[in-house]
Amino acid sequence: MLLQNLLIKMYCKYGAIQEVALLFSKKSSQDIVDWTKTMKEFAQFGYGRESLDLYSGMKSIGVIPDRVTFLTLISACSGLADLGKGIFIHEEIRSCGFTSDVVLGNALIDMYGKCGSLDFAKEAFNCMVIKDLVSWNTIIMVLAQCEKIIEALKMFDEMLFCGYTPDRVTYMNLLDGITCKTLLHHGSFIHSHIVASGLESEIKVVTALLSMYAKCRCLDDAWRLFHKVPNRDLVLHNAMIAGCACEGHDKEAIELYKYLDVDGLSPNARTFVSLLDACAISGSLVEGEWIHCHIKASGLESNVIVSTTLVNFYAKCGNLDFARKLFGRLTTKDVVSWNTMLTALAQHGEGKETLHLFEQMKKDGIPPNKITFYTVLSACCHSGMVSEGQDYFLSMRRDYGLYPIIEHYNILVDILVRAGRLHDAEDLIYTMPFRPSVTSWRTLLSGCRMYRNVELGKHAAKYACDLDPQSDSTYAILSGLLI
């Protein structure tokens, strides 16, 4: 029995699903523990669908699931980000009488968050009969990750009112939602609570605070925190380097890198990624090449994340040929690697080459994501490839089950506008499955100015002004149309 379980684990690790199924069918005992263990192996190694299929098989022969089974299935749904399957498993939990289980409730909140359904996450939280600190931390985390920091802070106040004492996870989740300077006052409010709770000296909390100030473009505050920490670890260094990178301060980032030795630390992949990002933003080719030499010496050039960042760095610094060579040398290419090279080609005006690489990506069996299609549509837009752009737009949902978001629709509007098909662009705006943005109408307005369609231009300008009455650009484009 032990050997069978180890074999199942090994075959799951290498994706040999048929062998797992055969081994499982031959097991002399198939109780709930065996079923759940196998489901867990599937889910752990990225085979969530198979894990859920196994649950169907288990039910068909009358084996009753337990709470561990459901925790495993929730994990599978989270990995797949499949809302429909998640709702199904939630119903199964209800029908089996586990609605009051706090651990399952917490897992459901997290799962709905990973599936992008904030409403279901809030409903799962509100329906919990019993809540613990993890429950509050999880819903705060989901709200913060969905950029609902005001709601997260309200939940934090409610948590305090209910008598729960926040821990470092609470504060780190809140800080994760502070992503721009307009939210800085909320970050300062959280900081004051951290000081009052005596958690400011904890390295993980300080790192989260430092990252928050860096994201809010308050590097002076980030530096003050950095210098106050007596025993700095690599994560804190990387956070400060990343903060410098956001501002394009490559010199400061490199000085921090050199300072690692003083704290007895060695760089990792995250360190080099942030350094390269800093050099890419500032366009510092020489400094980036120096970092590349250090990456080679550290043996991290083969790391897929580092190598992809190198492709992005050389492309951003204008050396597209070397970016192509690096991309061609990658032994492992994930969807991020392909997207990086596609974006580089599109930004350099290589529309046809972008589409050719996209077709190669599909041949290599890498499923495109929404970022891929945004890049491909942008290439079609700037190269005047109207029919190709329309075909790729339709392909998203038809071939890959990807539902276009507002950015995809706006790119298609731009494609039609540049081709002079203003009324087709208008029809597309009206038939969007969500409310058009100011960009949608402003793009149409720009096309009307280009092709001197005054009446349609006035119509587009009205909607654009209604959505953003303070914007000067809409009035400037309208003025150019009416002159």
Q: Which residues of 7-44 are buried (b: 16+ CB within 10 A; e: fewer)?
A: ebbebbeeeebeebbebbeeeeebeeebbbbbbbbbbb
Q: How far is CA 188 from CA 152, 194, 203, 235, in A?
A: 15, 10, 18, 22
Q: Which helix (H) or strand (E) holds 436?
A: none
Q: Are 134 and 106 in contact (CB under 8 A)?
A: yes
242 alpha carbon, distance to own chain's centre: 17
Q: What is the pLDDT of residue 23?
A: 76
Beta-carbon contacts of 420 under 8 Å, excluding residues fewer than 6 positions away, are 447, 451
pTM, rounded to two decimals? 0.77
Least confidently predicted of 1-10, 270-279, 446-455:
1-10
Both tokens of residue 398? 């038809």
The DSSP output letter for 130 is: S
Least confidently predicted of 18-22, 222-226, 279-283, 412-416:
18-22
Q: What is the pLDDT of residue 29?
A: 64
List, for residues 331-367, the tens digit of each pLDDT value: 889 999 999 999 999 999 999 999 999 999 999 999 9
Gap between the Cα atoms of 352 and 332, Å rounded: 24
Give me the mean pLDDT over the 458-476 stretch: 89
Tell me the pLDDT band of 28, cut-offs 50, 70 and 90. low
User: Three-state secondary structure along 251-272?
Assistant: HHHHHHHHHHHHHCCCCCHHHH
Q: Are 447 and 422 in contact (CB under 8 A)?
A: yes
Q: Are 461 and 445 in contact (CB under 8 A)?
A: yes
